Amino acid sequence: MKSQLKVLVCLVAAATAGIGMVGCRATPETAGEKRALKSEGEAALERMYSWGPDLEAFVDGAHGYAIFPSVGKAGLLVGAAYGRGEVYRGGEMIGYADITQGTVGAQVGAQEFSELIVFETETAMQRFIDDAFDVTANASAIILKEGAGAAWNYDNGVVIIVQPKSGAMAEATVGGQKFDYTPKDEATTRRAEGDRTRADTDVDADNDNRDANRKDKDGVDVDVDVDKK
């Protein structure tokens, strides 16, 4: 069900908010994408800290957090939002996560915002890691406004803070968000396995091409063992 929601959200967002389908995956595929996501996350945090008094100290004192530098939300009869980010525990990046959100009904405009989820305890963070985190049931969101103070109060061990990047944001419409977490080590393993699979495919294709080209002048295949010199 979650994968079907992600596909639907990505299709709607791609059509209405310019979000490419390539971006609809939790884990960056290349070293360049990982560096870019890390840099974007750091920039989003700095922007939030500049707006929110004492927010940096609050985050530093937390058990962990997830930062999503850019969540895009389209505004049509079917609303769709997607974003991806990094997850930190004790200051160490431990994995990647993505947000999908789909709602049906009247939507107002398109929005783009950064989202920060702060975890007070390991128990609260583990719910997120186990993909058992429900925004509607477990947390409320705070809209960060430049120069305005806010109370960073946990709700069941979690606080969600959003900062608009573009579009009006009269309320923090984060209800119905779903999260998919991938550990950093698992993401690295997946990438390595993908590289090996592509390499094996390339070798098989090269062998097939060589066999196809090894024909005698009458067009008869020549039985050649490509492994022999």
**How many Å apart are CA 222 and CA 168, to the nearest integer?**
70
Where are the chain's structural domains? 2-184
* pLDDT higher at 170 or 102: 102
Question: What is the residue-averaged pLDDT of the chain?
Answer: 75
User: pLDDT per residue over 114-146, tens digit each?
Assistant: 999 999 999 999 999 998 887 765 556 888 887
Q: What is the dihedral of CA 150, 153, 154, 158, to 10 degrees?
A: 0
Residue 219 has pLDDT above 60, yes or no: no
Show the CA angle centred on residue 133, arms to residues 97 and 109, nearest 5°: 70
Q: Nearest to residue 48, comparing CAs of 162, 170, 150? A: 162
Q: Is the pTM of this model over 0.85?
A: no
Residue 222 has pLDDT above 90, yes or no: no
User: pLDDT per residue over 181-203, tens digit each?
Assistant: 999 988 665 555 555 555 555 55
**196: its two tokens:** 């090996």
User: pLDDT per residue over 53-110, tens digit each?
Assistant: 899 999 999 999 999 999 887 655 455 788 999 999 999 999 999 998 765 444 455 6
pLDDT of residue 14: 46
Name the band, by pLDDT with cuts 50, 70 and 90, for residue 155.
confident
pLDDT of residue 129: 95
